[in-house]
Structure 1
């Protein structure tokens, strides 16, 4: 079972969406991530670099024809951080949900 652990690095909405997207895939292409998150090249590159510096993702750069392609993958450390963060968020939400919600009148 995953230990709940709120992760300040993952929590900003852009990074949370990025990590959630990577958690659902083996690898994700830069262009797909850019479209999915509606980010500029530089903004996505910055987010990827932040996550890679923390060891949460790995990136691969390769040449395909005359174009450079970049793709990203969540590492085991990143997956553990993500599942811990989601567990912490679920705990927060659970404490905010009343056990006996009021019935509509």
Structure 2
């Protein structure tokens, strides 16, 4: 089995990637809304998003809502693929584990 992607595997980055994976292709979410959903500080969220951006998994787009700057976030095609690969590998790993009481 291949190693789980260390970029995604960190708990906070896994939560971010999973949340962004729920968006349809082409959809994005505003930074404050993602921060609220994940109950993360802005600094912590920013740090993990930067790591995901550096890996090419997350796209960050700056825009203005009136005069207020807003950052919108989405998974890139590579990010979506990496998350799908990660979940496939994790399922394969967990598939080898039997629930308690069912050992034969």
2:37 counterpart of 1:39: no
Alignment equivalent of 2:7, drawn from 1, 9, 19: 9
Summarize the alignment of residues 18-37 of structure 1 with structure 2, pairs less than 5 Å apart.
Answer: 18-25=16-23, 26-37=27-38
Deviation at 1:5, TM superposition (A): 5.8
TM-score, normalization: structure 2?
Answer: 0.86
Over residues 13-36 of structure 1, what are the superposed CA-to-partner deviations in whole Å (9 max), with x where a residue is unaligned? 111111011111121110111011
Question: Would you say how many aligned residue pairs link Structure 1 and Structure 2?
Answer: 99
Question: What is the SS of the residue equivalent to 1:9?
Answer: helix
Unpaired runs of at least 5, structure 1: none
1:72-91 paired onto structure 2 within 5 Å? 72-91=73-92
Task: List gaps (5 residues or longer) in structure 2.
Answer: none
CA deviation profile, 1:22-80 (whole Å, cap 9, x unmatched): 11112111011101111111111111111011100111011111211001110111011
Query: What is the Cα-based RMSD across aligned positions, in Å?
Result: 1.9
TM-score (structure 1 length as normaliser): 0.85
Tell which has more relative contact order, 1 or 2 (C-alpha 8 A, sep 6+). 1
Which structure has the larger Rg? 1
Runs of 4+ in structure 1 off by over 4 angstroms are none
Q: 1:62 corresponds to which residue?
A: 63
